[in-house]
Structure 1
Amino acid sequence: MAKSAIASLTPEASNDRINTGLKADYRKSMSKDLSEILAATYRLTIKSHIYHWNVVGPIFKSIHELTEEHYNELFGATDVIAERIRALGHLAPVSLDMAKSFAPTASDVDQASAHDMVADLIKDHEQTVRDMRKAAGDAGENGDNVTEDMLTERLNFHEKALWMLRSVVAN
């Protein structure tokens, strides 16, 4: 492929043409926050899928079915979050180089009990909830109702996921 063709396929942020009432510095900051939330969502998608395949033990069926529901929901959320970043005038992250750093290793999975897997998912969901809650607050303070609403909807999913994960492993 010719170099000019590659250059024409490179997406560009249209930051300079946006006049929606949200300041450029806010849009840049929120896009960065949303990019981190997007990465966390991918991390949870990957972990949920890997644990779905590899969970064993007496609570196999419950975890297997729950993680399937979660990774399907999480994967759908990645598109919504990435599109919001684009609507704010910035590029959605284009590299998954970090995926290796957050996917559990084969030895981690082989040695993990179902309870360990659930505890790991709970930890990641809780961090994502804290990050989303902060970003939603920032969005509200800046009059960004769309981002605030999107994050509120995502918070609802994550808090329900936490409740269900905790319930599965409760004594």
Structure 2
Amino acid sequence: MAKNSGVTTELKGFVADTYALLAKTQACHWNAKGPNFIGLHKLTEAQYEELFHAVDELAERLRALDAPAPRGLAEMLELASLKDAPASLSTEAAAKLLAEDNSGLADKAKTIAEAADEAGDLATHDMLVARIDAHQKAAWLLRSHVV
């Protein structure tokens, strides 16, 4: 049985949400257009690359807690609370949606970090505190692209 099974269950969902946000951010990167194209294109590239590393570290933390990481896209989609973006989303609307998603994940990370702290799991707590900072910064940067 996994250590801190309540925390690992929540962390598994957070991994799936982080993966979903990675895909949404990369889709915004691919489809950005308009007068601020280059700025948003570079910003979303940096953000999806950061999310790629984050999801790997989070999944490895699950394994360190003796819990399985999500396996495959079907399980990721089943576990994720973030929903896919509409196909016909303007670049500005996509930036706004990504900002909202990042803010939501910062809140979710805070909740899980508090549970990890209560369970005495300081490594998971600290990892999630770093995610709070990363998601809050990403949200702020994305909001700066929305008029």
In the superposition, the TM-score normalised over structure 2's length comes to 0.89
Distance 1:160 1:86 in 2: 27
Within the alignment, does 1:128 sit opposite 2:128 as a pair?
Answer: no
- Give 1:61's aligned residue: 38
Question: What stretches of structure 1 move > 3 A for 4+ residues in a row?
Answer: 98-105
- Please give the secondary structure, in 2, of the residue aligned with 1:168: coil
**Do 1:59 and 1:114's aligned partners in 2 also have CA atoms closer than 8 Å?**
no
Q: How big is the alpha-carbon RMSD for the aligned residues of Structure 1 and Structure 2?
A: 1.8
- Give 1:86's aligned residue: 63
Q: How many residues align?
A: 143
Deviation, structure 1 residue 134:
0.2
**Do 1:86 and 1:92's aligned partners in 2 also have CA atoms closer than 8 Å?**
yes
Distance 2:141 2:116 in 1: 28
1:35-71 CA distance string (max 9 Å, x none): 1110111111001111101111111111101100000
- Give 1:11's aligned residue: none
Q: Pick the aligned partner of 2:29 from 52, 55, 62.
A: 52
**Do 2:47 and 2:138's aligned partners in 1 also have CA atoms closer than 8 Å?**
yes
Q: Pick the aligned partner of 2:131 from 146, 151, 154.
A: 154
Unaligned runs of 5+ in 2: none
In the superposition, the TM-score normalised over structure 1's length comes to 0.77
- Please give the secondary structure, in 1, of the residue aligned with 2:14: helix
Unaligned runs of 5+ in 1: 1-14, 17-23
Percent identical among aligned pairs is 36
Amino acid at match of 1:120: L
Give 1 or 2 for the bigger CA radius of gyration. Answer: 1
**Do 2:11 and 2:62's aligned partners in 1 also have CA atoms closer than 8 Å?**
yes
